[in-house]
Structure 1
Amino acid sequence: MSRTRFRSDAKLTRRIGAVSLGLVALYLAFGAVLITVMPSALTAAVVIIAMAWGQWYFSDKLALASMKARVVTPEQAPELHGMIDRLCALADMPKPTVAVADTDLPNAFATGRSPQHSAVCVTTGILRRLDAEELEGVLSHELAHVANRDVAVMTVASSLGLLAGFLIRWAPFLGGGRDRNNNAALMFIVVWLASMIAYFISFLLTRALSRYRELSADRSGAYLTGKPSALASALTKITGEMGRIPSRDLREVENMSAFFFATPAFDRQSLAGMFATHPPVEKRLEQLARISADLGRPL
């Protein structure tokens, strides 16, 4: 975490460390397979690493463009800027770029490779539905993501999955094609299976980390404002409204769902829970209730 007044989260640090170790082991095993049976995969690795770097370096611009968001000035959105100014002063962190996406989808997200190169975006839908305290709670959650450098962590964590997914698709064309020699078919099968396994394990590890970083951002944001009940109210409103958003509109922003403050509710015992980018709403509300008790405030 950057040096801010957000509470440190030792559990998040440990989980990032554990996931990183797991991914390093997976990288080494995956790399050993590729080097053994497919030396030309080095080119693919370089390409994917370059893509991951570009995704990280231009993350703020790419995310805003994906949502067709516009950067707003203090004159255009004085209340929003004023709220972010206060939270940044309270957290002792640089102010991010402020943007608004014109969509009825009630949500918000933060992105950027570092606190000095970050952006916080809210939708017009969330501005219409939340009161000032609820919106402040959501913004404190998003600023915690910036302070935790979550975009950088998740980009690095997901790069192996990008490489594995690339090889699953292009393995037949790497190394000269399947019909070049008698070993080509076997090489293809080995690389394809190794890529599938690496992709699946990387997917599970990064999703588990993503779910915990959402809990960590809730925790940090709630302690920063001292109003966990406002964050809980915002979470309840947004997830309830998300259930009424047409599936067509949700599919249009599916590529941004991991960055959003909240996603549609799901059964915490279902298979979807294992693959979700966000923890169940109930779990987030339970944590906020504990923070309220810790602060001596009713939720």
Structure 2
Amino acid sequence: MFNLVKTAVLMAAITALFMAIGAVLGGRQGMAIALVVALGMNFFSYWFSDKLVLRMYNAREVDASSAPAFYRMVAELAERAGLPMPRVYLIDENAPNAFATGRNPANAAVAATTGILRVLSERELRGVMAHELAHVKHRDILISTISATMAGAISMLANFAMFFGGRDSEGRPTNPFASIAVMLLAPLAASLIQMAISRAREFEADRGGAEISGDPAALASALEKIHAHAQRGRPLGATERHPETAQMMIMNPLSGGGLRGLFSTHPSTEERVEKLMRMARAGVAV
């Protein structure tokens, strides 16, 4: 129930941002058009955003024949979690990362880069995929996929407002400073919504993933390795092209120190590792 409320709040907030941009672009008429577009985007996001995100990453679906060890691992973890078998995808990228998507557990998909399969041990990879299945179990995946799709659309609209300006309800040009403010503040507001939802969600998925795999120390070790690769500047190409999808990953490949780290959609790796190691010391065992 709580996740349904979060999804409704997210959709309402994104719709309000669309309407604000519409008002700058075309006054009351622009606001009405933006409302219709936002409702259409929400419908599209609910049914098709998972396919869109997987296409952004050129993810290829694998099965027991094409990736037997990885597929069996996901199947075993899904059974432990009491979940239907998700679709399984690989992304041909060197940067180690993974994410889950879909509108519900019955229509879920998990994806991992080929880089993460090379970098992590089998235990660590189990921890990562258990984390992603925890997102599925907690029904986070719809929220993250919708927010990624809608945040990208808001950034595009904001840029349109900047370059083409806006009109009021009488058809007169609006104050150019209003267009600049929309260009700067609308994507920031969308990012803040994503950040507020995503940070708490990652802690819960870490906890849930540790319980599913029975090995919190392995997930902690995996996070440290992924973080080390990200700090060495190993880019994830599709995330750089579509930064709004970064919050879907097990670790934000675009986050950094200073202000950029402050606005990251993920908690600090140190804090996540510390919580997982507390679980390990408390006796969660394989």
Q: Structure 1, residues 115-156: CA drift from partner, whole Å, max 9, x if none?
A: 111111122211112221111100000111112222322355
Which letter does structure 2 place at the counterpart of 1:64?
A: L
Q: Distance in 2 between matches of 1:56 and 1:210?
A: 18
1:263 paired with 2:252, answer: yes
Counterparts of 2:18 and 2:40, CA distance in 1: 18
2, 10, 30: which one pairs with 1:40?
30
Summarize the alignment of residues 1-299 of structure 1 with structure 2, pairs less than 5 Å apart. Answer: 13=2, 24=12, 34=23, 37-156=27-146, 165=155, 167-171=157-161, 178=167, 184-186=172-174, 193=181, 197=185, 199-246=187-234, 249-254=235-240, 255=242, 256-264=245-253, 266-267=256-257, 270-295=258-283
Structure 2 unaligned regions, length at least 5: none
Contact 1:23–1:202 (8 Å) recurs in 2: no
2:216/2:277 contact within 8 Å kept: yes
**Contact in 1 for aligned 2:247/2:265 (Cα 8 Å):** yes
- Aligned-partner residue type, residue 122 of structure 2: A
Please give the alpha-carbon distance, in whole angstroms, between the structure 2 residues aligned to 1:244 and 1:193: 34
In structure 2, C-alpha distance between the alignment counterparts of 1:52 and 1:135, rounded to whole Å: 33
Amino acid across the alignment from 1:153:
I
CA shift digits 1:216-235 (9 cap, x unpaired): 11111002222100101111
When structure 1 is superposed on structure 2, of 230-239 and 148-157 the one drifting more is: 148-157
Does the 8 A contact of 1:160 with 1:199 survive in 2?
Answer: no
3-state SS in 2 of match to 1:82:
helix
Secondary structure of 1:39's counterpart equals helix
Q: Deviations over 1:262-282 (max 9, x none)?
A: 234633xx2123321211110
Counterpart secondary structure, 2:29: coil
C-alpha distance after superposition, 1:71-119 (max 9, x if no partner) = 1120122211211111111111111111112221112111111111111
CA contact (8 A) 1:91 1:224 kept: yes
Distance 1:235 1:27, change over 3 A: same
Aligned partner of residue 258 in structure 1, secondary structure: helix
Where does the alignment leave 5 or more consecutive residues of structure 1 unmatched?
2-12
**1:63: Cα distance to partner?**
2.3
The question of whether the paired residues in 1 share the 8 Å contact of 2:155 and 2:187 is answered with: yes
Q: How many residues are matched? A: 279
Is the Cα contact below 8 Å between 1:48 and 1:162 reproduced in 2?
Answer: no
Contact 1:105 1:123 in 2 (8 A): yes
- State, as a whole percentage, how many aligned pairs show the same letter: 36
TM-score (structure 1 length as normaliser)? 0.77
| Aligned-residue RMSD, C-alpha | 3.6
2:201 aligned partner, one-letter code: R
Is residue 137–residue 228 contact of structure 1 (8 Å, CA) maintained in 2? yes
Map of 1:6 onto structure 2: none
CA spacing shift, 1:294–1:97, aligned 2, 3 Å: same
Q: Secondary structure at the match of 1:110?
A: strand
